[in-house]
Amino acid sequence: MADTTPSASVLHHTAPSTRFGFIERVDPRLRVVTAAAFSVVVALAGRLPTLATALAVAGAAAATSGGGLCRALRRLVPLNVFLLLVFFVVPLSVPGEPWASAGPLTATRQGLRLAIAIVLKGNAIVLALAALLGTLDLAALGHALHHLRIPDKLVHLLLFTVRYVAVLEQERARLGVAMKLRGFRPRMNRHTWQTYGYLVGMLLVRSLDRSERIVAAMKCRGFCGRFHLLDHFAWTRRDTAFAALGAAVLALLAIGEWL
């Protein structure tokens, strides 16, 4: 039987549930634009008070979203594990006024400030993305990107990547179980690396075979290179209020940074 995709040739948008927060009832197009604008402003900012304000705004947005602040904070754990390494390395690698020293290693004030700025930027951007896009379903995101005139090929690539990453992971897990049943135990030797090479090759072969079946299934349903949109977004007063609020916040961040 040929594989199918939930949005083989028609893209549906699921209306947000009333149990979600205020952000979940905002037009997805506006949420995507706001997330992109906020990320750009925070990435370009350099003053610590501005970045701290941005982090507070992102935290407030995450707290009022349907996902909740606790869920958003859990998403920060992998990021901060990496940023912890950055926080210890950057002060030692940036020249400037000495701040602390331990033997041959000297941390500078400029490096410490840069490390703090990187940590604040990373957490603020990820929190904002979690609040604005974290509860956005895949069909709505693709729908919004299509309306924002993002090239269809990029939209299709995003939709299929997110849709079939889990499928490839399931296939990898099946092959892993089969390897264990045949007595495979990973070790640091040539046989282990050769086996893992065979595993990657089998994943590529099965992925190619599955993609051909998916293409055949979509063509049978009339797919001709683009998704047909059955329903569309409607701009409301809530969206106007959110756009005004977002513009005001971004303007205040920009004024605090550059003026």
Residue 141 contacts residue 133 (beta carbons within 8 Å)? yes
Question: What's the average model confidence in pLDDT over 208-232?
Answer: 80
Cα-to-chain-centroid distance, residue 126: 8
Q: pLDDT tens across 2-17, in order?
A: 444 444 444 444 444 4
Instruction: Reply yes or no on whether the pLDDT at 259 is more than 80.
Output: no
Instruction: Map tokens 């349907």 to a residue.
Output: 66
Q: Give the global pTM.
A: 0.73
Mean pLDDT of the chain: 82
Average pLDDT over residues 28-54: 91
pLDDT tier at 41, thresholds 50, 70, 90: very high
Residue 229 pLDDT greater than 90, yes or no: no
The Cα 240–Cα 136 span in angstroms is 19
pLDDT in tens, 103-141: 777 888 888 898 899 999 999 999 998 888 887 877 788
Which tokens in the block code for residue 9? 């040739």
- Per-residue pLDDT for 27 more than 90? no
What percent of the chain is predicted at pLDDT more than 90? 16
* Residue position matching structure tokens 């990320």: 39
Residue 222, Ramachandran bin (φ over 0: left; ψ between -120 and 50: alpha; else beta)? left
Distance CA 118, CA 5 (A): 39
Q: Is the confidence at residue 32, as pLDDT, over 50?
A: yes
pLDDT 10s digits, 171-209? 888 988 988 888 888 888 888 899 899 999 999 998 888
How many of the other CB atoms lie within 10 Å of CB of 28?
Answer: 24
The tens digit of pLDDT for each residue in 71-106 reads 777 878 888 888 888 888 888 888 878 777 777 778
Asked whether the predicted pLDDT for residue 19 surpasses 60, the reply is no
Give residue limits of the domains in the chain: 28-136+234-259, 151-228
Contacts of 152 (CB under 8 A, 6+ apart): 146, 225, 226, 227
Looking at residue 231, its pLDDT comes to 65
